[in-house]
Structure formats: C-alpha cells, structure tokens
Amino acid sequence: MQARSIQFAIGIALLACTILATRVYEVDAPLWRLLQGGNLIDSATLHLGGEFAESNLGSQRDPDGSITLRMIAQQYDFVPSCVVVPVQVSVHLRITSADAVHVLTIANTNVAVKAVPGKISDSFFELDHTGEFDLPCREFCGAGHYAMRAHLVVVPQSQFPSLGPAERAVCGAK
Amino acid sequence: MARNKRRWLWACCAAALALPVASGAAFRIKVMDSSRAHVPSNVAWTSETIREANGGDALRGLLISRRCERCHGQEGFSPSPSIPNLASMNSLVIWKQLEDFRTGKRVSEVMERIAGALSPQDSADLGAYYSLLPNSPDPMDSRSFPEPISNAALLGVAARLISLGDGHRGIPPCQACHGPVAYVLGAPSLTTQNSDYILRELEQFSEGSRANDINLRMRSIASQLTDDEKQALAEYYGAGRGNLPAAAISK
C-alpha cells in the first residue's frame, strides 16, 4: 500500500517536471533554452546596442533564405510600427519587452507571442497569403493598451527587397 | 461567346491580382543599414540611474536654477511660448534631457553649452527643485501659459487623440504616458506645457532631427501625425486643457 502511494507521488513529480521542462508559461521558449542564458536580456539597456538596438530591428534575410524579424514591445507600441515579410517564407520572430508584459498577435492567424521584459521570446511562423495584418497587443499592459497596434505587410516574394547581411527591412506609411 | 467569357475571366484574374498590390501600395518598404548604429540616448533606466537621478538636493537645485530663470521663468513658467515650462516636471525627465544635451544626443545650441557646464549631480539637484514647484502659474508673473485657442475646431481632434489615440495608425493616447492619467519612465508631463514648444518638438521628432527618444517611441508616433493634428495637440495643451483627463467627445 505504502509502496504504491510512493510510486504515485514519483509519477506525479515526473509529470510535473516534464510539463515544466517542455514549456514555461511566461515565455514561449522551452526551459532548457532559458537555462542556457541565450534568451535573457536587460530590458533597460536595449537601445544602447546589441541585438535590439534600433538599427537592428525589422526583417533580416538569413543565409538559408528564411527571415529573422526582431521587434520590441513597449508601452504602448510595437517597434518597428510597420514590419514587412515575404509570403510563404519561414519567419523567425524574436521579440522582447522594454517594460511590461505584452502579447503580439497577428490578427486572423494563430500566432500570438508573449513579450516579457528581460527575456527574448522566439516564435516561428509562415504566412500563406499576401496582405496587410493588424498586430494588436492582447495582454492588458496599462492605460494605453487598447490603442497598441502595429502592422504587418506580407508581400509577394518578388516585391521583397534582396537584403544584404547587414540590411534590415521595415515599412512605413507612404 | 466563349472568347467573351474568357475575356471576363482574364479581367477578373487581373483584378484579383491587382487587389493585394493596390492595398500593399499604401506602404513603402524601407531598407536600413544595421551597421550604422544610432544610439538615441546614453541614459538607460537601470535602478542605479534612477537612484542617481532622484537623489538630488532641492535647496542646491534652487541656487543653480538662477542660471535657468531668464528663459524658463522664476517659477518654472517661461515668458516665451517656444521655451518649455519646467514647473513640477519629474526629476527623471530633467536629468535625462540635461544628460542628452551634455552628450549631444539632443541638439540645441543654447542648452548644450549650459548642460555642458553642469555635473550629473547638478542635474539631479535641478530635477529635485523643479519637481517641487507648483504646476499652476503665478498670475502676477510674466508668463505665456495658458494661451488662448486660435482655432476651436481643432479641440475635438486633440481631445480624441489625447484620450483614445488612433489604434489603426498605432498612435497611443497621449495622456497614458504624459499625464494626467499615467506616466511612463522619463516621459515629461504635458499638462502645463507651452504650445509652440510642443509643436516644434513634434515636428522635430517626425522629421527625425530630434532623435533622443529611447526605442523610437516618439519618432514613430509623431511621424504618423498630420500637421493639423500636431497643431491641435499643441494648442490643446498650451491652453491648459491637459490638466484634466481628456474626454473623447469634447463639448
């Protein structure tokens, strides 16, 4: 009887460890990647340089042809406020927050990424039709939350600029 | 008949192809060079910086402020509408702007020289002093604030932007960061700010000649505003209407 309850306790503990190790609720990244430390960043010093310096934001063309898109969420906008990606190409979104917890949502798709201060969230998606998407914030983040919105423009692959390794693409209103 | 039908099919196809192109044409793709890094400001709101900026001595600030009086007024209300009012300004704001003038991140011929002669401790002292000043101007003092409104039709536009913003263009409500509803770190209070000064700064942010805002915040918002909206916001605040939270529909 005793042995069976110990087995039960060990089983529950194993199950809990498995859930924890596969996904941490706060960040869309598995626990082992967080423990490596590669996804930690100081939210107060983003603008001083490094991966989320303002000239490094936007779409970057990777050597394998996919796109890495870097964004910052902050009270109360996403920067860059308009981003552009080519259609039917794998996009690796890396986003962090400068202050509160935000959630970037691509309207009418199943993409929603939590942006947490101090951590970088990774997300992968591929959009299969061109057009203009709203990117609203879906986590209440303060007094201006409901107007926090950016735009994503998905263009045909032929219209997307051929980017050099140091070049980043964003978009702006005409 | 068959040819006619095919022609229709082609027309439909062309229209369907043109649609996404037409909607995409509202945007312009910009390519930036990431190797030319622009650091907007050397100030970062770490806990040490906040402690340093808040650790000023108001009495010492009062003595230093005699250098600021001629332009910014004896009680922090400027006699000229193009020079900012500093009364009751948060000490972090004053500390950051002086630091940006000192390091050349914010450009002003006059202020760069004045800030260059101040130490970081002097900036903190000035911040402590100005944050204590009352935010209502002395009626007997010579100051420009509040100014009469020249175009009443613009008030509704301003009240809407200040209270609701415009989510479609990604413009957050001004009062969520600049008061009186809420403040974010380093954002100046606009409730008693001068109209000409606000208008000039909005124009400089939108054309990028002022670029000391951390993480592109004001540059991306100001570049979305039309000239009329900038004028409306400047007049609304300059008339002292920003003291109370704005309602979406103004009377």
Kindly compute the dihedral angle of the four CA atoms of residues B36, B41, B46, B52, in this order, to the nearest 10 degrees. Answer: 150
More confident residue, B12 or B89: B89
Q: What is the mean pLDDT of chain A?
A: 89
Q: Is residue A28 domain-shared with residue A84, that is, in the same domain?
A: no
Residue B1: which pLDDT band, with cuts at 50, 70 and 90?
A: very low
Q: Report pLDDT for A23.
A: 63
Q: How many CB pairs under 8 A join A and B?
A: 161
Domain hosting residue B51, numbered range: 47-132
pLDDT digit string, tens, across residues B169-224: 889 999 999 989 999 999 999 999 999 999 999 999 999 999 999 999 999 999 99
Answer yes or no: is pLDDT of B8 > 90: no
Residues A89 and A122 in one domain: yes
B44 contacts in chain A (CB < 8 Å): 44-45, 47-48
C-alpha torsion B55→B57→B62→B66, nearest 10 = -70
CA–CA dist B201, B172 (Å, integer) = 17
CB-CB neighbors (< 8 A) of A132 in chain B: 23-24, 26-27
- What's the average model confidence in pLDDT over A13-42? 73
Residue written as token pair 């110990």: A6
Looking at the fold, whether B122 and B159 belong to one and the same domain comes out as: no
Please tell me which residue of chain A has the smallest CA distance to B45. Answer: A44
Distance, in Å, from the CA atom of A1 to the CA atom of A134, rounded to the nearest integer, reads 58
Q: Which residue of B has its CA nearest to A158?
A: B21
The domain that contains B210 carries what CATH number?
A: 1.10.760.10
Q: Are B102 and B118 in contact (CB under 8 A)?
A: yes
CATH of the domain at A112: 2.60.40.420
pLDDT of residue B119: 96
Domains identified in chain A, total number: 2
What CA–CA distance (Å, rounded) separates B168 from B171? Answer: 8
Give yes or no for a contact between A64 and A104, defined as CB atoms under 8 angstroms apart. Answer: no
Q: How confident is the model at residue B21 (pLDDT cuts 50, 70, 90)?
A: very low
| A168–B31 CB contact, under 8 Å | yes
Based on the fold, state whether residues B124 and B160 are members of the same structural domain.
no
pTM for this prediction: 0.85
Residues B86, B80: contact at Cβ < 8 Å? Answer: no
Instruction: Give contacts of B 6-45 with A, CB under 8 A.
Output: 20, 23-42, 44-45
Are residues A89 and A20 part of one domain? no
Q: Is residue B8 part of a domain?
A: no
Residue A132 included in any domain: yes
Give the residue from B184, B207, B221, B225 with the most A CB atoms within 10 Å of its CB, the best one to mutate: B184
ipTM: 0.83
Kindly state whether residue A173 falls inside one of the protein's structural domains: no
Q: Domain span at residue A11? A: 2-36
Mean per-residue pLDDT over chain B, rounded: 88
